[in-house]
Amino acid sequence: MNNPFSLRRRANLARPWRWLVPVLLVLLFLAVLFWLPWQARQMESNERQEQLIADTLWVEQTLRFELARSEEALATLGTDLADKPPAPAVLQARLAQLFKNGPELRRVLWLGPNGEVLARHGADPAGGAPGLSETQEMARLTRAGRYTEPYGATSHMQGLLDYYLPLYHDGAYAGSLMATYSLKTLLNETVPWWFAQDNALSLLDRNDVAVAARADGGPGRGVYTHRRALDLPGASIVLATDSVKGAPRLLPNLLVGSVIVLALGLLWSLLTLWRHISRTLAAESALRQQMAFRTAMENSLMTGLRARDLEGRVTYVNKAFCEMVGLPPEELVGRKPPMPYWAPEARGEYEERFAGVLAGTITPQFETVFQRSDGVRVPVLVFEAPLVDSRGNQTGWMSSILDITDRKKAEELNRQQQEKLETSARLATMGEISSMLAHELNQPLAAISSYTAGALNVLERADKGVAIEPTLLRRALEQARQQAQRAGQIIKSVHEFVKKSEPQRETVDIYSVVDGVRALIELQARKWYVALQIELPARLPPVSADRVMLEQVLLNLTRNGVEAMADVAPEQRILRITASADAAQVSVSVIDKGHGIAPDVAERLFSPFFSTKAEGMGMGLSICRTAIEFHGGTLTHAPNPGGGTVFTFSLPRPSAAPPAELQ
């Protein structure tokens, strides 16, 4: 005996199949109802298109026949003109007959062998045919008539067409006939009225520009169109027809409409059952598409993406982030700190920042270092923002991570190039003061020689029994030692200035910076007979800077000031070095009384490779400004009220210095 439960189950399974047959029949019936009118409409549309093609072909042949008839008449006239020209009155009568037989003619010219006009009939059109000389040359080469391209089309479509026919007598060129046709008249006189009522006609040139048109029944609908090229030697003219009739309308009759309404009612009852399922399937399909699109978009990004919940647990990472840290998503999603990509040297920074995340605060942008699974360090730039759901509640944090390895390499390369430029500038400066250095060393060396010679003389007298004074010998040796120390100090100053070293921040006293290059500044000043005045306050706060870079800036500025006073009177050659300080910065000024700086020069003063000196490289002030900006300061210049220029560089005091990550 069959189980009732199993029977009911089989009945439930068979119920959808019982619905399927009537639904398919209804759909088939509706398909036939829609297909039959559509098929009839397509057949009518095809018939109209075929009729238009046939009519267009007939019109094209009619136009070509009319032009061929005119060509034959011109050929007959040309033969008579080449063999035995008629009398002028007879010629004019024949030309008038041509115009009478062909209303489309506008002008006929009889040209001699040299191009002179022997006879004409009709008015000359405005302008000329393009490429007429090429048409004439080709016609003479082929010894056959040839048309030019249509021309002269205006807003009224009064396009013109020239026909050139060469004439020969006994094989020799005897002149030519040239006829001008009105394409508008050709359409009006040749195309039947019934065709022009149903179709809009136009003659197009090679650029699809209409040169003549006729549309007695109004503009075409663009539904039934056809093009046919006129077979004219030398001319590219296309006959285009556009029917004024629209597409056949699909209007169902009452019977068809009633059946469709009944069928739609039947379908409505079925659609109500399937509505929920269709909506569900559509929502699932849309969700799958969105998920697939988002996944493809995120996987194509070069930016790493990482999502974390409010407890710091990783909830999502994209492909770029996994490649950045060298770990698969399975080892990252669901994990809480410490993370495997934390570099050991930055663990304290990570933990401090993670504590801020747990406290609900983040750093919107920061730089750090990740460690890939192979141990390679990757410098990254991280942007973090709150992750908010559709109801406005924060559910975690979203991070965008950029790999800035290339940028760091570029910055390091730029820093190395800048150091090379600074070293080159120091060497160039030493080249300029080398002659002064030799002069200054001659003085202590000469003094040493004199004092040691005097000491030797005293010792020789002692060998001869003459009593000597130890004080005199000690004074001579002491003076020789002081001169040797002076020479050594000069050489040491030059060596310390030229020696290349990495920029190192340290607490620097402005007094020590000035003293470090004071000997070199005095060398420059004595060469140009410049008086040096150093006016520094008694208590000047220190700055955090690289000593060598500040010495180079100070030496460049003083050298420029000394050279700027080369053309002023000797009593005015005074170079002053002053300094001042306020709550935020320490400023050092180099003041000269030279010729000043012109306004046009001031605009480009700090530009690289710009120099007003004949042998200058144009890098001194540019390097000075770069060095000062490296320390977070500024380098400016202003006119000296007493004549000359004031260069001032300002450095922030340690309490006002920029943060370490920006330095």
pLDDT at position 472: 65
Q: Look at residue 659 in the predicted model and tell me its pLDDT.
A: 38
- Nearest alpha-carbon partner for 551 in 592, 574, 528, 518: 518
Q: Name the H helices within 143-192.
A: 183-190
| Most confidently predicted of 21-35, 300-314, 416-430, 624-638 | 624-638
pLDDT of residue 543: 92
pLDDT digits (tens, 9 = 90+) for 614-640: 444 444 677 788 888 888 899 988 888
User: Terminus-to-terminus CA distance in the chain, angstroms?
Assistant: 92
Per-residue pLDDT band at 316 (split at 50, 70, 90)? confident
Mean pLDDT calculated for residue range 425-441: 56
- Which stretch of 36-50, 80-94, 97-111 has the lowest confidence by average pLDDT? 36-50
pLDDT of amino acid 4? 44
Residue 389 — pLDDT band, cuts 50, 70, 90? confident
- Say whether pLDDT at 641 is over 80: yes
Tell me the average pLDDT across 641-659. Answer: 78
pLDDT at res. 331: 84
What is the model's pLDDT at position 589? Answer: 94
How high is the pLDDT of residue 661?
36
Structure tokens at 626: 């770069």
Dump pLDDT digits (tens) for 61-73: 998 998 999 999 9
Q: Is the pLDDT of residue 33 over 90?
A: no
Give the Cβ contact number of residue 69 at 10 Å: 12
Task: From residue 636, give the alpha-carbon distance in Å to each of 125, 589, 600.
Answer: 75, 10, 16
Q: What pLDDT is stored for residue 618 in this prediction? A: 43
Q: What is the pLDDT of residue 146?
A: 92
Banded pLDDT at 450 (limits 50, 70, 90): low
Q: Helices (H) and strands (E) in the chain — how many of each?
A: 14, 21
Average pLDDT over residues 533-540: 88
| Burial of 15 per CB tally in 10 Å (0-12, 13-18, 19+) | exposed
Lowest mean pLDDT among 40-54, 109-123, 409-423, 529-543: 409-423
CA atoms within 13 A on the CB side of 366: 14
**What is the model's pTM?**
0.38
Confidence of residue 650 (pLDDT cuts 50, 70, 90): very high
The answer to whether the beta carbons of residues 38 and 251 sit under 8 Å apart is no
pLDDT score, position 29: 67
In tens, the pLDDT along 541-563 reads 999 888 878 887 888 889 888 88
Average pLDDT over residues 207-214: 88
- Residue 252 pLDDT > 70, yes or no? no
The one-letter amino acid code at 381 reads: L
- Of the candidates 639, 617, 616, 636, which has an alpha carbon nearest to the alpha carbon of residue 625? 636
Residues of the chain with pLDDT > 90, as a percent, come to 10
Task: Give the pLDDT of residue 576.
Answer: 93
Q: What is the pLDDT averaged over residues 214-224?
A: 84
pLDDT value at residue 422: 62
pLDDT band at 591 (very low <50, low <70, confident <90, very high): very high
- Give the residue carrying structure tokens 């080449």: 82
Region of poorest pLDDT, from 5-19, 144-158, 282-296, 644-658: 5-19
Residue 207's pLDDT is 87
Q: Among 541, 540, 542, 544, which Cα is nearest to 504's?
A: 544
**pLDDT band, very low/low/confident/very high, at 289 (cuts 50, 70, 90):** confident
Determine the angle formed by the axes of helices 405-463 and 620-630, rounding to 10 degrees: 110
| Burial class (CB within 10 angstroms; exposed 0-12, middle 13-18, buried 19+) of 595 | middle
Confidence of residue 248 (pLDDT cuts 50, 70, 90): low
Q: pLDDT class for 274, splitting at 50, 70, 90?
A: confident
SS3 state at 85 = coil
Cα distance between residue 634 and residue 311, in whole Å:
45
pLDDT band at 486 (very low <50, low <70, confident <90, very high): low
* Per-residue pLDDT at 179: 92
From residue 509, give the alpha-carbon distance in Å to each of 153, 198, 345, 479, 506.
Answer: 88, 100, 33, 31, 10
- State the average pLDDT over residues 579-602: 86
435 has pLDDT over 60: no
Reading the block at residue 529, the tokens are 């007979």
The pLDDT mean for the chain works out to 78
Query: In angstroms, rounded to a whole number, what is the distance separating the alpha carbons of residues 242 and 254?
Result: 34
pLDDT for 585 equals 92
The mean pLDDT value for 158-168 works out to 89
Q: What are the distances in angstroms from CA 291 to CA 279, 295, 387, 490?
A: 18, 6, 18, 75
Per DSSP, the three-state class of 344 is: helix
Q: How far, CA to CA in Å, does 482 sit from each of 420, 456, 486, 511, 548?
A: 36, 18, 6, 23, 27
pLDDT at residue 304, as a whole number: 82
Report the C-alpha gap between 445 and 354 in whole angstroms. Answer: 67
What per-residue confidence (pLDDT) applies to 298? 67
Higher confidence at residue 79 or residue 129?
Answer: 79
In the numeric block, the tokens 């991570």 are attached to 401
Instruction: Name the most confidently modeled range: 7-21, 31-45, 544-558.
Output: 544-558
- Distance between CA atoms of 506 and 268, rounded to whole angstroms? 86
Q: How crowded is residue 581: how many other Cβ atoms within 10 Å of its Cβ? A: 18
Using the structure block, give the residue that is written with the tokens 């959808």: 16
pLDDT tens digits along 488-509: 766 665 565 555 455 677 889 9
Q: Determine the average pLDDT of the residues in 464-483.
A: 69
Cα–Cα distance measured from residue 393 to residue 370, given in angstroms and rounded to the nearest whole number: 30
Q: How far from the centroid of its chain's Cα atoms is residue 522's Cα?
A: 53
φ, ψ at 383 (rounded to 5°): -115, 130
**Is the pLDDT reported for residue 2 higher than 50?**
no
pLDDT of residue 500: 47
Which H or E run includes 232?
Answer: strand 225-232
